[in-house]
Copies of this chain bind each other. A is one copy, B any other.
Amino acid sequence: MKSIAVDMDGVLADVYRQFLEMHFQDTGEKISPEAIRGLKEAEAFPLLKKHVHSPGFFENAPLIPGAQDSLKKISAHYKLFIVSAATEFPLSLYEKHRWLNKHFPFIHWRQMVFCGSKEIIKTDIMIDDHFKNLDHFSGETYLFSQPHNETTSPGKHVRVSSWKELEKLLLPDPDKLEQ
């Protein structure tokens, strides 16, 4: 059984929706998704630092559509690990743990990894929205599309735009036929 490392922010948790919403609450200004294509997250959201340090930011993040259902199916065929960069934001550690337990009750604490750099992660496959995590990884790599990476060529990584796409790429034929 192959092992797979799945990122949280931007892959399971819809942090863009959370940023857009919190920016609107703070400023009354609606940021257009089109306007932030290709911008780094910190460029797109000038209040990012404040928001990621706000209690509840990670715990109340909405889900990326389809993530729950697809990850459940994928976990039947792969040794699944959730690998999230979290040590930069100490508050996020507890919140991310709670968020995973709430939305993905089938994921055991043994399958959770909260780290800073992902360079010491060894799995067969990695799914992430950041080049910095995928570029030095030696296994198969899937780049999950988010506005900050959309205008850059995926290079050696396979770009995917949804969990449905990932299902098609990762699940064996019988599961594809089920859909």
Interface-forming stretch among A30-38, A93-101, A142-150? A93-101
What's the nearest-Cβ distance from chain B to residue A6, in Å? 12
Copies of this chain in its oligomeric complex: 2
Closest Cβ of chain B to A157, distance in Å, is 19
Would B110 and A116 count as touching, CB distance under 8 A? yes
Q: Is the CB of B116 within 8 A of A109?
A: yes
Complex CA–CA separation, A117 to B109 (angstroms)? 8
> Once the chains bind, are B116 and A115 in contact (CB under 8 Å)?
no
Say which residue of B88, B90, B98, B114 sits within 8 Å of A115 (CB atoms).
B114
Interface-centre pick from A81, A94, A120, A121 (highest chain B CB count, 10 A): A120
Chain B residue nearest to A116 in the complex (CB): B110
Chain A contact residues (Cβ within 8 angstroms of B): what range? 20 to 34
Q: Are A93 and B97 in contact, CB atoms less than 8 angstroms apart?
A: yes
User: Is there contact, CB below 8 Å, between A115 and B117?
Assistant: no
CB-contact partner of A113 in B3, B94, B108, B115, under 8 A: B115
Contacts of A123 in B (CB 8 A): 120
Residues of B with C-beta under 8 A to A117: 110-111
The answer, yes or no, to whether A87 is at the interface (CB within 8 Å) is yes
Q: Most chain-B CB neighbours within 10 Å: which of A86, A113, A117, A123?
A: A113
Chain A residues within 8 Å of B, Cβ to Cβ: 3, 5, 81, 83, 86-88, 90-91, 93-94, 97-98, 108-117, 120-123
Q: Could you list some 19 contacts between A and B, CB below 8 A?
A: A3-B120, A5-B120, A81-B120, A83-B120, A87-B110, A87-B113, A88-B110, A90-B98, A94-B94, A108-B116, A109-B116, A110-B116, A111-B116, A111-B117, A112-B116, A113-B113, A113-B120, A115-B115, A120-B122
